[in-house]
Amino acid sequence: MAEYAGVSRWQVHQIWKAADLKPHRLKTFKISNDPDFADKVFDVVGLYLNPPDNALVLSVDEKTQIQALDRTQPKLQLKPGQIERRTHDYKRHGTTSLYAALNILNGEVIGRITQRHRAKEFLDFLRQIDRGTPKEQDLHLILDNSSTHKTPEVKAWLEKHPRFTLHFTPTSASWLNAVEGWFGQLERRALYRGIFTSVGELKTAIRRYIKTHNEKLAKPFRWHKSAESIMTSVARAKLSIIDNK
């Protein structure tokens, strides 16, 4: 651009800086087309900002296809003057999946590792939540619109367990589900730099991280944006799309 405009690269940098333009950066986005978007946003945000009395609010999701990756050569350890290094290629030793429920009141996580993620596994996870939470408390689960969450078997089980209430996020709005942030922490702290020679090693690392998180890292989840401000931001984004057509 500097050459095209006949100015120096420093001048281009200063112009971009003054205009707060960052052309080297790029983010992705997707606006939900859910016809019930507003109702779902107000419902979920209401649970975050004003949880019901005598109830637990659990943010639930599954992290699928977690890979047990091993490197083709031993890594070079961190030492003074040298960062840790590892080969760019890897060996796959299989995958696993993780169901997780983040308790927004204290930040603790209930986890269940499975090999598949069908309605059967989701029901098993609901039963685990049922066993692991005080019977006198109602349970409000925030989760996405996966078909495995809405099968006849799941609905029949929920009818027999009325203390469970499911609250669905809008489609294409995973950012509204608090447990997604915890999955990011799991990835950064336990998986990204891990070397796993088997699925068993991977499962052990996941269980170890959940235990460490619950014992040392868990803290109440805090949501700061009101439903009204979210709706305003979405409306502004839609106008921007129209203006850029």
Encode pLDDT of 121-174 as tens digits.
Answer: 999 999 999 999 999 999 999 999 999 999 999 999 999 999 999 999 999 899
Taking the C-alpha atoms of residue 203 and residue 209, their distance in angstroms, rounded to an integer, is 10
pTM for the whole structure: 0.87
- Give dist(CA 241, CA 170) in Å, integer: 20
β-pair type (138-143, 164-168): parallel
| Predicted local confidence at residue 84, as pLDDT | 86
Q: Average pLDDT, whole number, for the chain?
A: 92
Domain residue spans of the chain: 32-228
Fold entry, domain 32-228? Nucleotidyltransferase; domain 5 (3.30.420)
Residues of the chain with pLDDT under 50: none
